[in-house]
Structure 1
């Protein structure tokens, strides 16, 4: 993100770095929780958030005035429950001798459901004597906006009202400068011995060999009385909802490869966790904690990654974005008629216009990607009913590309932020230092990004294809526009002596000759000639780009190269996946399998959950990849990357309009001998694909049910 909205880091106690890779996260709909490995909410990025407002800013458990000694903690495989197991430190004397350390087992188990945190604290006495157990919670609600938490200062704040208590509950209320009352509460199943506005103290008598359970709830508005039945019933609902999201679409499994399957499962559950079922359909939110909201670009790319196995995401994303398409011009929102949303937020600062992201359109690529995804969705599903519903929005988006996206009439889509509050760079590499020339100098606007021209090419081709299906005579014009974009890119961006494309053109038409991974997205869109695609692929696979854990965003040796930066030398899994899919489009399979193996290797060091990005240092024997400390985790298009790369390596393409599945020269990553894709819906039919390595090549064995044809080539 632009540094005007930069992310602040903090350091936790007990010597453990509190970067996002050490935090635990839960999400349900528009609510998410960020806590440390003990389950405590203490500072920094921590908190229970709902619609970009922090409802719980402190929630710390102590036993005998001390933090328990943590044994283990983590989130269940389905991303529903968090559990922390710990034991006591020596307890202070309570009418006799103190209890020694290590005789109590404490389990904190929690989940989110229906915009509410449910927690059970279970304590078991494994000692030889009865124990008087002093247990306490510290809590607070600051109602901070997500952008405040990220470090954006505010000159004024609303009013935090004094909390109220009623024996088992504490209620918090805040009146924002926007005039909106926001409230939250915390409630306990047992009445505390002492309850204040910021602390609940309990004194339990726990006989040896016995256990006690304390239930806690926190969320918006008033809290019901927590108890075992509410905890169990709501926990079942949360788990069932996750299972429903997980069961959408086809299943992909490696045979006799449990570790690889664990990665597939983790990635699928991360996409499911981040997917919120909106009235318009399922939408994958970008990532926790900073981007747990609908983003246009992120939603489109995640839906595209998952399209071959689960088209429902694409339909949900397209429908949602169509409903929020711009109809007017506004510099603060960076909107123009037909433009597709970049980001939406629900917090106080967005509502007041202190930040422009309440409904913000400052993404130059999202409108092109919207059209391109619609074309891919139509071919994948044959769902022309949805396409007809979207058709006015697709035409409006095309009109934006023609009338507003090209500000200087040179045939290329460009950007320059309309207001100083907006993002200075508006492609996916949106940090302020990510676009520059071969000397490291920043461009004069408006800027035409390389990959955006690829998206525009794909959009015009998709529109021509859809026009053919719907009988729109403008399809010839749209096809011509696609070819015109292709010719402009090949003429103006290509650097012959580098065998590569420039990252951008500035407002004077001067090439920004930095060598970046943006060219991989051009391959994904199928714009380059075969010869140039071959040269780009060859360079992307050199040590300039390949870290051993995936492709760097910037070639090593370029000005501003920094493997620890956000966009100038780090590795983004989705970026590697799109480049790999682009290589596969031109027939390259072995290199794609190699890149998939590298990304898998990185995932094994991140507990099989790929972060948004990680540092681009070269892979060293016996050493893990180096984390980027504030990367979102989980993050949607990072989680979806494995599925796009698998589609690329297997050579699978689906045309539901023709009722055809094509498999072209499939291969498998190293160490994987068999892989199955089951329940692949194609129109009214279903097909299973079983891939197996045989005599140096990969064979595919299908099982069709309904009118699906399979064609194997290569």
Structure 2
């Protein structure tokens, strides 16, 4: 405090997605404020290119007023915020059904897409890479943004440009979603083009990034377009986006649950077998609740409900042991053991509370219950897979479209069940606009 009390692109968008089922106002605010600061021209000092969504902004004396000593006015050193903006815009539409929102941010979205294809893909090979053009030179601008976060299997750092695996997944998801958005706007030709681009990317990704010997996706591609063969948690985020083929998704999940990655409290950011592994380093071995929430969501997407619940149980067990049930942004990747049944704090000091760590709780609950909104078509899909440690839960005032819904979920034997306890609509909502709740599996 107060360094991190400001607007961050990646963080605010991640929190918006995590909390969509409980507070879609986060998304409305993030979409609006970030659009206001979307880059309009190239400015290498601030790592800005047209259409790019900012990383962070500062208002202090060093940034503004007389000094202009730091570039955070705003700063654009992020490889993923521009892509995540499209994902959150789509998700907000799915939960609210508000097509006017799409019209309002259509131009912003088009600029994001242009940035993805022309600046996010530096060498034009169809994959996302990042490279800093700023004299401040941030080595890593994915969500793992520590200077030493991206390493080869022998522990040596990877030079720029770097094409991380999860960035490809984000683009696949964003273009698939934007195809849906342009369909809603009546622009079918644009929608078909985006859908085709997404499918081409998926096919090429599963060929280029797959490590058969590890049974897992590579951390990324290095400047020579060779695989960064480190096993890292980033591979799990590829399941969240849906870019992974089914068999590769299942094998990746099994790989991430092996002992070198699974600590008992969650999935480590980097394999214990890597020469650079350190359970106390910021992003080379500890556990991030936000990362694990995304991975668990990806496991559930591919039908791996038990594996998803295993991750969630580990994170929830850790949170239960922290003061006031507040999850820190990161905690150590030390192996859970009978005599040390307590998660070890990150020694350099982690932010507590921290927005996307807290948001991961709501994200993981949504994963367990299998909530997927389709407000434009007046539907809410549910696919509960309750574990035995959470046999009964009721959600009150779940907002989907113009309706507020109370749902109860419970476990009976090996099966999970659900029922609608109450549904209320905003004044003036017609009967045909009421939400229909239905099983994801039909």
Give me the TM-score of the superposition, normalised by structure 1. 0.58
Query: Do residues 307 (structure 1) and 307 (structure 2) align?
Result: no
CA distance in 2, matches of 1:559, 1:382: 49
Quote the offset at 1:451 in angstroms. 0.6
| Kept in 1: contact 2:379–2:437 (CA 8 A) | yes
Query: Do residues 539 (structure 1) and 263 (structure 2) align?
Result: no
CA distance in 2, matches of 1:632, 1:655: 35
Structure 1 residue aligned with 2:328: 611
Please, which of 448, 463, 466 is the counterpart of residue 181 of structure 2? Answer: 466
CA distance in 2, matches of 1:650, 1:421: 44
CA distance in 1, matches of 2:413, 2:214: 39
Q: Deviations over 1:327-364 (max 9, x none)?
A: 01111100000000111111222233433223000001
CA distance in 1, matches of 2:271, 2:21: 31
| Kept in 2: contact 1:503–1:515 (CA 8 A) | yes
Please, which of 376, 381, 386 is the counterpart of residue 657 of structure 1? Answer: 376
Q: Which secondary structure does the structure 2 equivalent of 1:425 belong to?
A: coil
Structure 2 residue aligned with 1:620: 337
CA distance in 2, matches of 1:429, 1:488: 24
CA distance in 2, matches of 1:290, 1:597: 32
| Kept in 2: contact 1:685–1:705 (CA 8 A) | yes
CA distance in 2, matches of 1:355, 1:574: 29
Residues 582, 459 of structure 1: alpha-carbon distance in 2 compared, 3 angstrom cutoff = same
Please, which of 678, 687, 695 is the counterpart of residue 413 of structure 2? Answer: 695
Q: Which secondary structure does the structure 2 equivalent of 1:344 belong to?
A: coil
Q: Which secondary structure does the structure 2 equivalent of 1:532 belong to?
A: helix
Q: Which secondary structure does the structure 1 equivalent of 2:404 belong to?
A: strand
What aligned pairs does 1:107-146 form with structure 2 within 5 A after superposition? none
Query: Do residues 448 (structure 1) and 167 (structure 2) align?
Result: no
Query: Do residues 709 (structure 1) and 436 (structure 2) align?
Result: yes
Structure 2 residue aligned with 1:503: 219
CA distance in 2, matches of 1:596, 1:669: 10
Please, which of 554, 579, 599 is the counterpart of residue 295 of structure 2? Answer: 579
Structure 2 residue aligned with 1:197: none
CA distance in 2, matches of 1:546, 1:605: 19
Computed over aligned residues only, the root mean square deviation of the Cα atoms, in angstroms, reads: 1.4
Structure 1 residue aligned with 2:11: 298
Structure 2 residue aligned with 1:555: 271
Q: Which secondary structure does the structure 2 equivalent of 1:710 belong to?
A: strand
Q: Which secondary structure does the structure 2 equivalent of 1:480 belong to?
A: helix
Query: Do residues 590 (structure 1) and 317 (structure 2) align?
Result: no
Query: Do residues 675 (structure 1) and 390 (structure 2) align?
Result: no
Q: Deviations over 1:493-536 (max 9, x none)?
A: 11111111111111211111111000111111111011111001
Q: Deviations over 1:242-286 (max 9, x none)?
A: xxxxxxxxxxxxxxxxxxxxxxxxxxxxxxxxxxxxxxxxxxxxx
Query: Do residues 343 (structure 1) and 61 (structure 2) align?
Result: no
Q: Which secondary structure does the structure 1 equivalent of 2:44 belong to?
A: coil
CA distance in 2, matches of 1:591, 1:359: 40
Query: Do residues 397 (structure 1) and 112 (structure 2) align?
Result: yes
Structure 1 residue aligned with 2:96: 381
Structure 1 residue aligned with 2:431: none
Q: Deviations over 1:390-413 (max 9, x none)?
A: 000000111111111111110111
Q: Which secondary structure does the structure 1 equivalent of 2:394 belong to?
A: strand
Structure 1 residue aligned with 2:363: 644
Give me the TM-score of the superposition, normalised by structure 2. 0.93
| Kept in 2: contact 1:289–1:632 (CA 8 A) | no
| Kept in 2: contact 1:356–1:422 (CA 8 A) | no
| Kept in 1: contact 2:400–2:435 (CA 8 A) | yes
Q: Deviations over 1:165-195 (max 9, x none)?
A: xxxxxxxxxxxxxxxxxxxxxxxxxxxxxxx
| Kept in 1: contact 2:96–2:402 (CA 8 A) | no
| Kept in 2: contact 1:561–1:569 (CA 8 A) | yes
| Kept in 2: contact 1:342–1:363 (CA 8 A) | yes
| Kept in 2: contact 1:675–1:691 (CA 8 A) | yes
CA distance in 2, matches of 1:699, 1:304: 25
CA distance in 2, matches of 1:682, 1:643: 16
Q: Which secondary structure does the structure 1 equivalent of 2:39 belong to?
A: coil
Please, which of 196, 202, 210 is the counterpart of residue 494 of structure 1? Answer: 210
CA distance in 2, matches of 1:445, 1:696: 49
Q: Please identify which structure carries the higher strand content.
A: 1
CA distance in 2, matches of 1:449, 1:551: 18
Query: Do residues 354 (structure 1) and 81 (structure 2) align?
Result: no
Q: Deviations over 1:79-99 (max 9, x none)?
A: xxxxxxxxxxxxxxxxxxxxx
| Kept in 1: contact 2:214–2:255 (CA 8 A) | no
Please, which of 209, 230, 242 is the counterpart of residue 526 of structure 1? Answer: 242
Quote the offset at 1:289 in angstroms. 4.8
| Kept in 2: contact 1:290–1:632 (CA 8 A) | no
Q: Deviations over 1:449-508 (max 9, x none)?
A: 111111111111111110000012311111111112212211211111111111111121
CA distance in 2, matches of 1:535, 1:674: 31
Quote the offset at 1:553 in angstroms. 0.4
Q: Which secondary structure does the structure 2 equivalent of 1:343 belong to?
A: coil
Q: Which secondary structure does the structure 2 equivalent of 1:310 belong to?
A: coil
Please, which of 368, 376, 382 is the counterpart of residue 83 of structure 2? Answer: 368
- Which of these two proteins has the greater Rg computed from alpha carbons? 1
Give the number of aligned pairs. 426
Q: Which runs of 5+ in 2 are unaligned?
A: 426-433
CA distance in 1, matches of 2:406, 2:305: 21
Q: Which secondary structure does the structure 2 equivalent of 1:551 belong to?
A: coil
Quote the offset at 1:366 in angstroms. 0.7
| Kept in 1: contact 2:139–2:160 (CA 8 A) | no
Q: Please identify which structure carries the higher helix content.
A: 2
CA distance in 2, matches of 1:713, 1:426: 36
